[in-house]
Amino acid sequence: MQQALSFDDVMLIPRLSNINSRGDVDLSTSIAGIKLKIPIIAANMSSVCGVDMAIKLGGLGGLGIIHRMCSIEEQAKMVSVVCNYPVPAFVSSPLKVGFSIGIGPDWRERMDACCNNANIVCLDIAHAHHQRVLYLLKEYFEFYQNYPIIIGQVATPNAVRDILNIIPEQYHSSIAFKTSIGGGSLCTTRIKTGFGIPTLQAVMNIKKEFSKISIIADGGIRESGDIVKSLALGANAVMLGNLLAGTEESPGGIIKGNDGKLYKIYRGSSSYGDKSLRGEEIKNIEGEEILVSYKGSVIRVITNLLDGIRSGFSYGGAINIEELQDSIEYIQITNAGMKESLPHGLFNL
């Protein structure tokens, strides 16, 4: 039986470092030909990425993917607002923004309504290794050719291979794959269906066979160290949901709980609330809906994550993502090793 490793199973081995300052670390990357200053993408979820999130993350050099849990007109308006937002003085290039489509009959309408104002589209489906996806992509590349696209979710090299086989090779550089399946903090797919592969293992498996394809690690990322592991072992960027949910910029109002604390709603994909927003029949629920603590500005959240990521690069003796991935070594740790990794000398006064 094969063994699959998740984030808590893996530790990167430190290397000789000549990084004088963590500020010297270059976190720039490229996704399907779209250049980003930081390797962070806001998940295309109704409670994560709307206009405010896309603007703030775009200003920091990342990418927001506008969700599709709304009408075509509303989605197109959100994309247009981000595209035409005045660029802050400290930003050297226009904000980048993406949008989401599904495999339903309205996907062409969403493409035509949004593509001229966006940089990239995300094909949003729980299991992209599906015949309906292959049919859609054949049509997509007939009409939209090299328009950058993120295809997700995939979990295996076989999925990537079957998809690439039906797409002309000259368009492969405009494709990114989002992996894996069932790893999100609110996702119940693996429990309900019995299928899935841990995100980190899926990244490693796909990278091993398709070294030149853009990979986005999506699901199960809880700390900056998980982002470093994803980048070190093959990802070009990560997609974040839970870490960005509950921020000032995430869609939805702030709720004051009975305990006096502040919260915001966080909906998993295919949750009851998510399907309600889409007007879909309420069945095949594979996601939860919860309240998460209000976190304040996403700028503070991203800044803290970037500090940890840059520190990770310094331990790996790497000035950029390419150097980090070059000859990186890792070990599998035991539960005792993971326990040792956590703060364990604390006591209550």
**What is the residue-wise DSSP string for 245-262?**
TTBTTSSS--EE-TTS-E
What sections of 100-130 are H helices per DSSP? 107-114
Yes or no: say if 39 and 71 are a contact pair by the CB < 8 Å rule.
no
For 47, the token pair is: 């409670």
Yes or no: say if 299 and 56 are a contact pair by the CB < 8 Å rule.
yes
Q: Is 114 a catalytic residue?
A: no
The angle at the Cα of 38, spanning 205 to 58, to the nearest 5 degrees, equals 120
With CA atoms as reference, report the closest residue to 53 among 41, 38, 35. Answer: 41
The rounded distance, in Å, linking the Cα atoms of 16 and 2 is: 32
Q: Is 278 a catalytic residue?
A: yes
- Catalytic site residue from 15, 108, 190, 278: 278
Q: How many CB atoms lie within 10 A of CB 119?
A: 23
- Catalytic site residue from 68, 114, 187, 310: 187
- Residues catalogued as catalytic: 187, 278
